[in-house]
Chains A and B, each alone.
Chain A
């Protein structure tokens, strides 16, 4: 899977650019490249539904973040204990990476998943639900309560955005 590794390195470089650049609008565009690379990675990993959803969501995220940053660019402050804070964060990240590398030895190897639950979905999905796309048969039939909860979270988020952003009834 060489193409996937190249794509992941591209995504990491885009993420570092998004973290390190001073200009906020450039950072938002860089995080857009990371999301679009993720969409292509889903396509390589044989997940077309996820690729479509990720493409749409990424464009919406970039639009929302540009709305939040436009004409509000301001300089960064690097005062305070700059060296100490950076040192502590880097030590924490190195310890985190070492522990993650140790934990990954217990995972199943790449390309050979444990498909205990999914094998029954693959065998009986067409007969049980009548959907040829097994991902949508899981989302809309086997795990329909999960999708109901997702819709609840979406409406809660919409209510939250409306309550935060509304201008009527706000005291000056």
Chain B
């Protein structure tokens, strides 16, 4: 229970960063932090107490394994998160080249 709540606090720190900061790089950092919190929450829900990693071996002393399904889903989500971060960072670099700033309140005006 307290682990779930700490995970939620980590999520809300990232949400605060997205909502309140005006720097584009800070917004990217907030998106990355929320993504970490969601991935960690999935794996937390699938954890079995005193379980072992879901890999078969010759000498299995412990028989119950943790849930492998959230781990497979999160493995996909981590890689997609990298692609998202790369795309946003490249757009931020282009915005900096065009406007000369990362501040989102100063890049509102359109330039031809």
Residues in chain A within 8 A of chain B (CB atoms)? 1, 4-5, 8-9, 11-12, 15-16, 18-19, 24, 27-28, 31, 34-35, 38, 41-42, 45-50, 53-54, 57, 60-61, 64-65, 67-69, 72, 74, 76-77, 80, 85-86, 89, 92-93, 96-97, 100-101, 104, 107-113, 115, 117-118, 121-122, 125-126, 132-135, 138-139, 143, 146-147, 150, 153-154, 156-158, 160-161, 164-165
| Pairwise interchain contact B43-A45, C-beta atoms closer than 8 A | yes
Instruction: Chain B residues near A48: list those with CB within 8 A.
Output: 53, 55
Bound-state Cα–Cα, A56 to B79, Å: 10
| Number of B residues, CB within 8 Å of A | 78
Our pick among B13, B32, B54, B71 for the contact of A12 (Cβ within 8 Å) is B13
Asked if A135 meets B72 with Cβ closer than 8 Å, knowing A77-B103, A113-B45, the reply is yes
| Pairwise interchain contact A24-B53, C-beta atoms closer than 8 A | no
Bound-state Cα–Cα, A11 to B28, Å: 17
Asked if A4 meets B3 with Cβ closer than 8 Å, knowing A50-B78, A61-B85, A89-B16, the reply is yes
A-B contact pairs, 29 of them (CB 8 A): A11-B36, A15-B10, A28-B29, A34-B36, A46-B47, A47-B43, A61-B85, A64-B86, A65-B25, A65-B29, A72-B102, A74-B103, A76-B22, A76-B23, A80-B105, A96-B12, A97-B9, A104-B8, A109-B1, A113-B66, A118-B68, A121-B69, A132-B57, A134-B68, A150-B76, A157-B84, A161-B90, A164-B87, A164-B94
Instruction: Chain B residues near A156: list those with CB within 8 A.
Output: 83
A interface SS class: helix
Give B1-44 interface residues, CB cut-off 8 Å to A.
1-10, 12-17, 19-23, 25-26, 28-30, 32-33, 36, 39-40, 43-44
| Pairwise interchain contact B68-A61, C-beta atoms closer than 8 A | no
Interface presence of B91 (CB below 8 A): yes
Nearest-CB residue, chain B, relative to A75: B103
| Pairwise interchain contact B55-A134, C-beta atoms closer than 8 A | yes
